[in-house]
Structure 1
Amino acid sequence: MTTRLSGQTRRRAALLGVLLSTTAGVALADEVAVTPPEQVASAASDSTSVGQVFVTARRREESAQSVPIALSVTSAETLTQTGVNNIVSLTQLVPTLQVLSPNARNTALTIRGLGASYGLANDGLEQGVGIYVDQVYVSRPGAATLDFVDIQQVEVLRGPQGTLFGKNTTAGALNITTRDATNTFEADAEATVGSLNFRQVKATAAGPIVADKVAARLSVVGTWRDGDLYNPISKLHQNARDSVGVRGQLKFTPTDKLTIKLAGDYSAQHPECCTQVYVTVGTTLKPAAQQYAALAAGRNYKVASTNPYDRLSDVDDDIQADQFAGGGSVIVDYDFGDVTLTSVTAHRNWDWEPRNDRDYTALDVTRRSANPSHQKQDSQEFRLSSNGAKKVDWTVGLYWFDQNVTTHGVTEYGNDASYWLLPGTNSPDSLLAGYTVFNDSSIDTTSYAAFGQLTWKVNDRLSLTPGLRYTKEKKDGVYAQRVAGGSNTTDTTLINRRLGIARAQNFAAETSDGSLSGQIAAVYAVNENFNVYGTYSRGFKSGGINMTALPLNSAGQPSLAAAVIRPEKVSTIDLGVKTQWFDRLLTANLAVFATDVDNFQANVVDSGPGALRGYLANVEKVEVRGVELDTTTRSIGGFKFYGNLAYTDGKYASFRNGPCPLERIGTSTAACDLSGKALPGLSKWAGSLGSEYRRKTSLGRLSGEAYAGVDASFRSAYFADSSDSIYTRIKAYEIVNLRAGFQLDKGWEAFVSVRNALDSEYIQNITVVSGNSGLVVGTPGDARAVAFTLRASY
């Protein structure tokens, strides 16, 4: 098969290739040697560890180069230097990770284009990218928008991780590790100020409480920034940032064999957020009088600006995106000598308190729109692992997870709703003015799993790693929707029009399924610095329940057949090489993969009788193919470099009942066949590269190290909507960040950073506004921003 690239794409790929081959340095210092604290002493005396990255991708500490998994590792130092404060901005360093986040609840994470269904969040659906923080699964994707707190490193594991990270990780996992409490006193403080009144403070203190027995660690972070959109109606700056977070840990080591870690965290966000601005107007198949231009003119409405980079919004309702997340865990490790028993007990909760203006205009179409959501989860994991066996390393375990998500939503329509949502019908404004829809839902999920994985060292060169996990999961959901308000009328035609917008319904549903997932992997060491691997993995994501209004059957009742969606099954073949060259100065890893997904879970449109609704259903088949290249270096004459390039081709192999793109919507909505169309949220080409130069120097009496660095990333165009509408295609863009600083020998550091230094104009996400008038809104990416950071470490 021959793939033809556009001229612009060829130029980007060529540019990246030149930079990778000729730049004398791309990689950040800690990107290459990220070592857990407990290994520092031994690693320093072991020459075999030089240039190695240590990870826990297989629930044990080992060199990333020996693991038969395509993965990316980012250290705390790299996160700080590049200004990456959360998972959303991590995408600039990890090309295969994509995050679309118009707000916290509707955050969607994908790896290699898989992992989430684009559209409004549905509580009955699990994510396919698992987020794990200190071995604890974090169910809600909104956690991706919270600030990092005292991070040790972040591992992005690509492809199904169904054996050891088994909670629905069909697309991959983010394995996040925070710093441990220590028996040596240490403290860090950091303050940043910058554009748009940006302010961020971070502080950490750690040390012994009882010598060699009890240690503690406490970290706090706070971030504030004015909004980058201005609303001339409310005279407010919107899409601001306002968040605080705290994390604490107590570490008990009563004996050499027993370690107990008690950890807790809490984060809160109170931003003036999140709204979107005018991006474009799409032409539909509706009569001209029912499209945006005519409708806006009929109410003398003129948008604040048709240029999204003017950053002007004109919503006329309050907006709010408050979220609160917290939890605690107890991790116990007991070393029996040949084996270690690990217990991970955790509780977490997440509360979402929003307000939205869903028509995104100054018109009174949607007066109120809010879906507050409250989640709580409990989990227990037991693992038994071998300790340094010569021939076979193994891990077996049991896992239990229980979750409840409750939502109490409200949508109220205004004086312009009848005109805007029922165009051409001459319906009176009073028909929908004050018409209010209340929706209440609750879903319980209980999951049990047993798993095991081993690594058999067949000989000095060949290792085989089979693994299996059996998961049994049950969901029970209840949904109720009622309506009130609007004008009193006995006109059947008007009543039916109003019911076409929303009508009362309620249903209960349950689903239960069990599945076997796992992998078989082989690694062959050509020599100590050249490993070849192959992995076949099967992932499983449990069935879901639509926690939203269902399409109606011919009797006007909810179609219960649409309440439950089938499990998603993923098969992936990964082939790769992991290499190090020139005495491990250069690390270069290449991976080729092919993924097939059966019953991909997505937002679709039903074409049956009654009022049509967007809801969740199964896509028959999805296919993704790709190649990934990751390179880093250690210091070469003071220079370091990294470069990552990914080519990913994903498509709906069979999607006959898909949502229609905006340009194909007429007076009646029908399902469209999207088979062969590109998978949304996926750039065919994505890459990141950067360089840093460090040099010992003095400033007067101050001695230390001066440095300067550049980080760049790019993504080719992609669709930001599951329908692949031409009006929701986000254009290719590039971002360049600069930084320079001075680090004193005595623990002080100061640096200046410039994010989006070239002031590139790009759109982060796009939404087709309800009513299908043709209006398309979006969120412009951050403009150029300058920041100054001062750090102190003791």
Structure 2
Amino acid sequence: MTAKYPSVRRRVQASSLTLALVMACAATPAAADEAAIADDAGAAASAAVTDEAEDQTSRGDIIIVTARRRQETAQEVPVAISVIRGDSIEATGNFNVVKLQQLAPTLQVYTSNPRNTSVNIRGLGVPFGLTSDGFEQGVGIYVDDVYNSRVAAATFDFLDVAQVEVLRGPQGTLYGKNTTAGAINITTNQPTFDFEGRAEVSVGNLNYRQAKAAISGPLTDKIAARIAIAATSRRGTLFNVTSDRWINEQDNLGLRGQLLFQPNEDLSITLAGDYSKQDPEGYGTTYVRVGRTQRALARQYDALVAAVNAANPGRNYAVPSTNPYDRLADIDASLNAGNKIGGASVRVKWDVGPGTFTSISAWRFWDWKPENDRDFTGLSIVSKSQNPSQQDQYSQEFRYNYEGDKIDFVVGLFGFKQRIDTQGTEQQGTDASRWSLTGAPANDPSILNGLTATNTQYLKSTSAALFGQLSWKVTDALTIQPGARVNYDKKSGFYQRIVTNGAGGVISCTPAPPAGSVLAAQCGVYQPQKSSPSDSAWNFTYDFNVNYKVAPDILAYATYAKSFKTLGINQNGLPLNADNTVNFDASTVKPESINHYEIGLKTQFFDRRATFNLSAFRTDIKNFQATVNGGQFGTVRGYLANAEKVKSQGIEADLKVVVSDRFTAYANGAYTDAKYKKFTNAPCPPELSGGTLQPASAVPDYSQPGVPGALSPRQCDISGQRLPGVSKWAFSYGAEANAPATLLAKEGQVYLGVDGNYRSLWNSNASPSIYTEVKGYALTNFRIGFRSEGVDVFGWVRNAFDVNYIELLQVAPGNTGLIAGTVGDPRTWGGTVKFSF
């Protein structure tokens, strides 16, 4: 939409590697923008915008992206890419990577806490389930060109963000780290030599408070600085009756500072540092349901609760509610989710010869201090569970960009080093014997009470790569674009679990203790273990793109990419063999081998006031790295294994229309068919688990799901079933209308906006279960406000119709049938005031 007071075009220094969009208060806070947006009042482009692009602004705003490591209009990029501007992120309340999926339909983000957060594109990226440090991300997350090696280290609030680019499909020939499913490229606002600033305050229900501020300007004629700060707090959305307080709250603080030194027009050096702290009481779950497993009926959830109550007269334990949307929990273990993230980087850009040389040197840290309730109940089964981690990572990237009349190319060298240390403690409580043991031992709380597994582990990871991409402009319309990457990875890890009994004595499970003994009971819950997995691998990846300008505003493209996700190692302990010995063969996991095919069409029409983009894709993966879980409390939290074949295919469409200067609308949609094409030795879902195992030589029998006492398959063939976490259908949509208005003698606009998203049903277990299907849902948000030069005041309501929905379901350990979940936010409302100059 065209505002009466259009955005001021500020000159952003060409020294900045990535584009800085300087948002003025009149910029329309529409939601996700796919490619170029025909919006006369949009964000200001950088000084690097070509003359051709400047000429086009009379018809439509030009969104500049750096997806291909050079500045160009998004419609010229032959890649499926969503561009989400900073003002859109703020207006829709999507303040971090976790919330970003509401604006980008093919993005899936799941989290039970910052540590256990996964980001996937088109259903691919990282294994679904408890996070292991031993594998690589398939979706790279970059902030101002700095790679964040773990999703947990990128769960900070967005701070002074200019725009976010979500690239779909393999990106390893352009980005520092090999990314097999896509990349999220976050660009912050850069220092300017024009003095500017902004401040924003929001308040809402649930005691929501958020304040943001940023200021930028020159220190000398060659040095500019920018500093930004943000703080967010909100009451929790789940009430814990045990502690008598709300949990799963927000308590975030973020700081970012940048210093730009530009001694001349050809050279610039940017020093940046950031720090983020999150310190909520979280993250807890609530009771969702109980489903029958193949465990003996007396060993399933309802019977076990009754047995615990019978052993403790007068206790009468029951969950506070069987309706998850009552938002009640009874967690009895300590909860904590302390998360500190930060780092520093130096970015050098030097226009030398016919091209530009860029260097990015970075160090980042992540300090995670969690406490959880691993039994998901108010019973003292697991009385303590905590796995604090500390990470340091160093990265160095050198890159040279050249742009010519017929040839453009990028060539780069990337090096990466990482170390993660983790110290884990898990302890059994007073109800553990009754819950986990049978016969006479079940009546003796002392057997398991105080049984403690203390884990020490570290991961060392080194990576190096040479990559490049060439664009050959065969004609004015036809471009051929090959790319290649040579990659080396080495991983080495260490894991040791020491088990002590309630008296503090160290126990040993080798040789196997006599059946029925106290030691055998203890070893059945926690078994000492030690492993030192290590491996290395070279791989060669490449892609080939052909794109053709059918007309000035119509671009067609086709891409083939051969990609690899490097080897993985199991860092959270190894699974056990049938005889209760450690399966050391599972120490390492094979690399993924990926073949990716994509065709697309990017179009603009109605004098560039309408944008319609379409893409179709198919990705085939051999040796897909999946997270599996054996279902026990402490034998293994979850480990990596290879599924033989996986495929993901689908169609994506994006439409944005500026009907007039007063009305804009958009709709983005995706159909994704992501399946295990072949996975014959997968862990079984809970309804086919918990019973005596079928004979090893028998053909697996899946005919008695949820029948107590039935024999359980040793593994399940889930070939043909859908990947977890992926909805077949996903949409985002929105519109905004405005009209001239005067408020307090200040001329401006009054506006009304709506945005929303829809997801069809999906499954929340690595092996799809009838108990972990998450129903589809649609969320709708509204905002109404007034904006003028330097001021924007608006009220908002999110999840306006107070839709009940589940964000994540988890299968409780022990095959008891308990399913716990994370409930999505209820209706929230509030107001925001922004000032800028």
Task: Provide closer, same or farther for how the CA distance between residues 424 and 178 of structure 1 changes in structure 2, counting only shifts above 3 A.
Answer: farther
Change (3 A) 1:620 1:672: same
SS in 1 for 2:660: coil
- The alpha carbon displacement at 1:659 in A equals 1.5
Amino acid at match of 2:757: S
Question: Does the Cα contact within 8 Å between 2:176 and 2:414 map onto a contact in 1?
Answer: no
The letter of the residue matching 2:546 is A
Q: Superposed, which structure 2 residues align to 1:376-775 within 5 Å?
A: 376-386=392-402, 388-423=403-438, 426-427=441-442, 428-486=444-502, 492-493=515-516, 494-553=518-577, 557-604=581-628, 614-634=638-658, 636-668=660-692, 670-745=714-789, 747-775=790-818
Correspondence for 1:148 among 158, 183, 193: 158
Alpha carbons of structure 1 residues 559 and 667: separation in structure 2 relative to 1, 3 Å: same
The alpha-carbon deviation at position 541 of structure 1 amounts to 1.2
Residue 361 (structure 1) aligned with residue 371 (structure 2): no
**Residues 734 and 754, structure 2, Cα contact 8 Å, conserved in 1:** yes
Inter-CA distance 29–127: structure 2 relative to 1 (3 Å threshold):
closer
Give the AA of the match of 1:716: S
From 239, 263, 269, the equivalent of 2:248 is 239
Which residue number corresponds to residue 697 of structure 2? none
Q: Deviations over 1:334-390 (max 9, x none)?
A: 10241111001000010110001111211010000001011110000101111x300
Q: Using the alignment, how far apart are the partners of 2:579 and 2:720 within structure 1?
A: 35
Q: Distance in 2 between matches of 1:129 and 1:518?
A: 17
- Checking the alignment, whether the CA contact within 8 Å between 2:784 and 2:796 is kept in structure 1 is yes
Residue of structure 2 in register with 1:184 after alignment: 194
- Distance verdict in 2 for CA 1:48–1:233, change over 3 Å: closer
- Corresponding residue number in structure 1 for 2:307: 298
TM-score under structure 2 length normalisation: 0.89
Letter of the structure 2 residue corresponding to residue 231 of structure 1:
N
| Paired residues of 2:32 and 2:84 also in contact (CA < 8 A) | no
Match of 1:52 in 2: 62
Distance between the aligned counterparts of 1:414 and 1:495, measured in 2?
17
Deviates more, 1:423-432 or 1:240-249: 423-432
Equivalent residue in structure 2 for 1:370, among 386, 394, 399: 386
Query: For residues 640 and 27 of structure 1, do their structure 2 counterparts lie closer, same or farther at Cα, with a shift above 3 Å needed?
Result: farther
CA distance in 1, matches of 2:303, 2:435: 10
2:661 and 2:397 map into 1 onto residues whose CA distance is 47
Deviation of residue 43 (structure 1)?
7.6
State whether residues 683 and 717 of structure 1, in contact with CA within 8 Å, keep that contact through their aligned partners in structure 2: yes
Query: For structure 1, which runs of at least 5 residues remain unmatched after alignment?
Result: 1-24
- Aligned counterpart, 1:270: 279
Instruction: Name the counterpart of 1:130.
Output: 140
> What amino acid is aligned across from residue 178 of structure 1 in structure 2?
T
Deviation at 1:548?
1.7
Cα RMSD after superposing both structures: 2.0
C-alpha deviation, 1:681, in angstroms: 0.5
Give the C-alpha shift of residue 30 in structure 1.
7.1
C-alpha distance in 2 between matches for 1:425 and 1:568? 48
User: Residues 525, 319 of structure 1: CA spacing in aligned structure 2 closer, same or farther, 3 A cutoff?
Assistant: same
Indicate the residue corresponding to 2:25 in structure 1. Answer: none
Q: Deviations over 1:575-623 (max 9, x none)?
A: 010000111010000000011011111123579xx97874211111101
Distance (Å, rounded) in 1 between the aligned partners of 2:440 and 2:372: 27
* Counterpart pick for 1:251 among 249, 260, 285: 260
Cross-structure match for 1:349: 365
Structure 1 residues 114-125: aligned runs within 5 Å: 114-125=124-135
Shift of 1:40: 6.6
Amino acid at match of 1:74: I
Q: Measured at CA, do residues 84 and 605 of structure 1 come closer, stay the same or move farther in structure 2, by a change above 3 Å?
A: closer
Which moved further from structure 2: 492-501 or 771-780? 492-501
SS in 2 for 1:154: strand
Cα distance, 1:569 vs structure 2:
1.8
8 Å contact kept, 1:27–1:632: no
Partner amino acid for 1:696?
Answer: P
Task: Tell me how far 1:299 sits from its aligned partner.
Answer: 2.1
Change in 2 beyond 3 A, CA 1:668/1:441: farther
Quote how far apart the aligned CAs of 1:537 are: 1.1
Asked whether the equivalents of residues 68 and 523 of structure 1 are also in contact (C-alpha less than 8 Å), the reply is yes
> Is the 8 Å Cα contact of residues 84 and 163 (structure 2) preserved in structure 1?
yes
What is the number of residues matched between the two proteins?
765
TM-fit CA distance, 1:505: 1.2
Q: Which string of whole-angstrom CA distances, capped at 9 and with x for unpartnered residues, describes residues 536-559 of structure 1?
A: 112221101101221245786532
- Asked if the contact 2:82–2:104 (Cα under 8 Å) also holds between the matched residues in 1, the reply is yes
For residue 309 of structure 1, what is the aligned residue in structure 2?
325
Contact 2:31 2:92 in 1 (8 A): no
1:160–1:570 Cα contact (<8 Å) kept: no
Distance 1:262 1:525 in 2: 39
From the superposition, tell whether residues 675 and 744 of structure 1 become closer, same or farther in structure 2 (CA, over 3 Å). same
The more displaced of 195-204 and 625-634 is 625-634
Q: Closer, same or farther in 2 for the Cα pair 1:770/1:666, shift >3 Å?
A: closer
Paired AA for residue 827 in structure 2: R
Alignment match of 1:109 (pick from 115, 119, 123): 119
| Aligned equivalents of 1:42, 1:372: Cα separation in 2 | 53
Residue 20 of structure 1 aligns with which residue? none
Aligned to 2:5: none
Name the TM-score, length of structure 1 as normaliser: 0.93
The Cα offsets for residues 67-96 of structure 1, whole Å up to 9 and x where unpaired, read as 111110000010111111001111111010
Equivalent position of 1:11 in the other structure:
none
Instruction: State the alpha-carbon separation in 2 of the partners of residues 28 and 364 from structure 1.
Output: 46
Tell me if the contact between 1:28 and 1:692 (Cα under 8 Å) persists in the aligned partners: no
Contact 1:319 1:355 in 2 (8 A): yes
Contact 2:477 2:548 in 1 (8 A): yes
**CA 102–613 in structure 1, closer or farther in 2 if over 3 Å, else same:** closer
Give, in angstroms, the shift of residue 443 of structure 1: 0.9
Q: Secondary structure at the match of 1:253?
A: strand
Shift of 1:162: 1.4
The answer (yes or no) to whether the contact 2:274–2:343 under 8 Å persists in 1 is yes
Q: Which amino acid aligns with 2:553?
A: N
Name structure 2 gaps, 5 residues minimum: 1-27, 310-316, 508-512, 694-713
Percent sequence identity is 47
Q: Is the 2:465–2:487 contact (alpha carbons within 8 Å) kept by the matching residues of 1?
A: yes
Match of 1:12 in 2: none
CA contact 1:26–1:691 (8 Å) conserved in 2: no
User: Residues 614 and 87 of structure 1: is their aligned pair in 2 closer, same or farther, counting only changes over 3 Å?
Assistant: closer
Give the match for residue 510 of structure 2. none
> Cα–Cα, structure 1 residues 483 and 714, in superposed 2: closer, same or farther, change >3 Å?
same
| Aligned residue among 174, 177, 185 for 1:167 | 177
Aligned partners of 2:61, 2:812: CA distance in 1, in Å? 51
Q: 1:35 to 1:568 in 2, by over 3 A?
A: farther
* Alignment check: 8 A CA contact 2:30 2:753 kept: no
Q: For 1:626 and 1:234, locate their aligned partners in 2 and report how far apart those are by CA, in whole Å.
A: 46
Matched residue, 1:13: none
Please list the CA deviations of residues 508-535 of structure 1 after superposition, one character each: whole Å capped at 9, or x if unmatched: 1211001111210011101111111001
Does the CA contact (< 8 Å) of 1:507 and 1:558 recur in 2? no
Whole-Å Cα distance in 1 between the matches of residues 430 and 689 of structure 2? 25
